[in-house]
Amino acid sequence: MINIEYGLRAAEVKRWTIVKLTREQSVAEHHYNVWIIARGISEVLGIELHNSRDAQAIEHLALTHDLQETVTGDVPSPFKDLAPASFRALEETARNSVGLPSDAGNRGTIVEAVVKLADIAETLFFAYQNGGRDRPAVWVYVVDRFRSILKAVTKQYAHLPWERVNNLFLACSPADPAWARTLEGAYTMENAT
Say which CATH topology domain 4-192 has: Hypothetical protein af1432 (1.10.3210)
pLDDT computed for residue 163 by the predictor: 83
Task: Identify which has the larger pLDDT, 166 or 103.
Answer: 166
Domain boundaries, the chain: 4-192
Mean pLDDT of 40-62: 86
Other CB atoms within 10 Å distance of the CB of residue 59:
18
**Mean pLDDT confidence for 175-187:** 69
Q: Judge whether 127 and 164 are in contact, CB under 8 Å.
A: no
Question: Which distant-in-sequence residues (6+ apart) come within 8 Å of 191 by Cβ?
Answer: 154, 162
Q: What is the mean pLDDT of residues 139-155?
A: 86
pLDDT for residue 128 is more than 90: no
Q: In this predicted structure, what is the pLDDT of residue 69?
A: 92
Q: Which pLDDT score is estimated for 33?
A: 96
Query: What's the CA gap between 113 and 25, in Å, rounded?
Result: 23
Residue 185's pLDDT band (cuts 50, 70, 90) = low
- pLDDT reported for residue 2: 83
**In Å, how far from its chain's centre is CA 124?**
9
The percent of residues in the chain predicted with pLDDT above 90, rounded, is: 31
Average pLDDT over residues 16-28: 91
Mean pLDDT of 14-30: 92
Tens digits of per-residue pLDDT, 104-114? Answer: 677 788 999 99
Grouping H, G, I as helix, E, B as strand and the rest as coil, residue 14 is strand
